[in-house]
Chains A and B, each alone.
Chain A
């Protein structure tokens, strides 16, 4: 059964065959769950959202386009939307005011990279804290970009924004972390 290709799985799910669905869940559930649980700390909620992701995937399999993305990326996109909806229901999404401050001073990519690549334990500890304070979408962005090494185009697809816009957002997020590090120092 594990010899099934992604195309086979999609075809089987389209035909409503149980083995296709089971294979899809078995192959991608861990990744989807891992992505969700980083934003939704409650394991039960994360599990529920993972299940919902697959149920929605089964019912919307006809909208999947293999030319546009891989199956796992498509599943991540569904999971991301469900997760955002869940977070909106759970509580208001807070947009911190300091995001306006980041535009006050231009910082070059090199300067940012140097500041975020010191190798100092203290800096790593500070960044661990700061990531938690980021809004959900920025947290997702840095997680997918740095932790899962996803290319920006893929992240853009998952998050439903254009790659260029996402690149700007990544810059702003890095700058925000840089500014915070400098303030704390």
Chain B
């Protein structure tokens, strides 16, 4: 390409003068450049060295690992314990059932049968369990091992709760039939979250197994009803709590088994608390 070259001498001279003192390349440019060119190589070697070290550490770790003979692994320990644990769990529950066993543990039918065999039941093992060691929520509880928990302790707890909150026992004015051996008590607690009577009563009720003779628990936001039988002392217990006029009326009673109890006494007290004239003139069985 034949291009025309412009002379423009003034412009050329201006540029020559202007760039006459153009700075030279710094003396350390080559060194800096070398440094810039080197890092990638260094970095590559660094990674290779790091990878090699890592592999070496893994190798050493593998060789130093304990062999099977010297230290049994955790799974082995568990495997050894399983045959001992399984019969205890199965036999300490209710009558062994194949269906239950198959759901709990996906093992062969043969194995289930073996586990569920009643001859595995060892009374000595059960008797070794002390009642005081058993928590009410424990899965170890059975009919055979059900600990005796005196229902009178509920009354003791209520009395302590009343004393702590300065609540005095109410006076029941109603008259029990002559010769009656029904013992009743009544308390009127303030209905607040600090005392939380319903919550505490529920806690106490939960201390008793639902397999306790005569166990009956029913509660709502408004009412609480709990019954127990003491087969040792041949007594029947009943506690009724109810939210009435911003208070909680707690009524407890116990009597010998089979005694017919009247609700009149409780209802009279309740009506009085609600400032209404009692309409329950005729006593009824609760």
Q: Does A152 contact B (CB under 8 A)?
A: yes
A residues within 8 A CB of B1? 152-153, 163
Contact of A146 with B30 at beta-carbon distance under 8 Å, contacts A30-B24, A37-B22, A128-B18 already known: no
User: Does B109 interact with chain A (Cβ within 8 Å)?
Assistant: no
Per a CB cutoff under 8 Å, which of B6, B11, B26, B34 touches A127?
B11
Residue numbers in A under 8 Å from B25 (CB-CB)? 29-30, 33-34, 47, 50
How does the 8 Å CB contact mask read for A157-174 relative to B, with 1 for contact and 0 for none?
A: 000000100010010001
Count, chain A residues at interface, CB 8 A: 45
Main secondary structure of the interface of B (DSSP, over half): helix
Complex Cα gap A167–B2 (Å): 13
- CB–CB A123/B10 < 8 A: yes
> Within residues 102 to 146 of chain B, which ones have a CB less than 8 A from any CB in chain A?
none
Judged by a CB distance under 8 angstroms, whether A54 is at the interface is: yes
Per the 8 Å Cβ criterion, residues 213-238 of B in contact with A are: none
B17 / chain A contacts, CB cutoff of 8 Å = 124, 128
Scan residues 50-100 of chain A and give those whose CB is less than 8 A from a CB of chain B. Answer: 50-51, 54-55, 58
Interface string of A106-122 (1 = CB under 8 A from B): 00010011001111100
Point out the residues of chain B lying under 8 angstroms from A58, CB to CB: 37
Q: Are B9 and A127 in contact (CB under 8 A)?
A: no
CA separation between A64 and B49, bound complex, in Å? 35
Listed A/B pairs (26) with beta-carbon separation below 8 Å: A30-B24, A33-B25, A43-B26, A46-B23, A47-B26, A47-B29, A50-B25, A51-B29, A109-B4, A112-B8, A113-B7, A118-B10, A124-B14, A127-B11, A127-B14, A128-B17, A128-B18, A131-B14, A142-B11, A142-B15, A146-B8, A146-B15, A147-B12, A147-B15, A151-B3, A174-B11
Q: Is A38 an interface residue (CB 8 A)?
A: yes
Known: A50-B25, A113-B7. 6 other contacts (CB 8 A): A118-B10, A123-B10, A128-B15, A131-B15, A147-B12, A147-B19
Which residues in window 232-262 of B have CB below 8 A to A? Answer: none
Contacts of A50 in B (CB 8 A): 25, 29
B13 lies within 8 A of chain A by Cβ: yes
Task: Please give me the 6 A-B residue pairs with the lowest Cβ-Cβ distance, nearest first.
Answer: A127-B14, A116-B8, A117-B9, A147-B15, A128-B14, A33-B25
| A12 in the interface (beta carbon within 8 A) | no
Contact indicator A131/B12 (Cβ below 8 Å)? no
Q: Is the CB of B19 within 8 A of A38?
A: yes
Q: What distance in Å separates the Cβ of A145 from its nearest Cβ neighbour in chain B?
A: 8
Contact A116 B16 (CB under 8 A): no
Contacts of B29 in A (CB 8 A): 29, 33, 47, 50-51
For A102, list chain B residues within 8 Å (CB): none
Q: Which residues of B contact A (CB under 8 A)?
A: 1, 3-4, 6-19, 22-26, 29-30, 32-34, 36-37
Contact B10 A117 (CB under 8 A): yes
**Which chain B positions have C-beta within 8 A of A124?**
10, 13-14, 17
Residue of A nearest to B36 (CB): A51
Assembly CA distance A181 to B24 (angstroms)? 32
**Complex partner residue of B9 from A51, A116, A131, CB under 8 angstroms:** A116
- Chain B residue at smallest Cβ distance from A120: B10
Inter-chain contacts of A26 with B (CB < 8 A):
30
Chain A residues with CB under 8 A of B19? 34, 38, 143, 147
Q: B37 to chain A: which residues have CB within 8 Å?
A: 18, 21, 55, 58
Q: Which of A46, A146, A170 contacts B12 (CB 8 A)?
A: A146
- Distance, CA A47 to CA B35, complexed state (A): 14
Complex formed: what's the CA distance from A124 to B15 in Å?
9
For residue A177, CB closer than 8 A to chain B, the reply is: yes
A47 touches B3 (CB 8 A): no
Chain B neighbourhood of A123, CB < 8 A: 10
Known A47-B32, A113-B6: A34·B11 in contact at CB below 8 Å: no
Q: How far is the CB of B20 from chain A (nearest CB, A)?
A: 10
Do A51 and B18 have beta carbons less than 8 Å apart? no
B15 interface neighbour in A43, A109, A143, A153, Cβ under 8 Å: A143
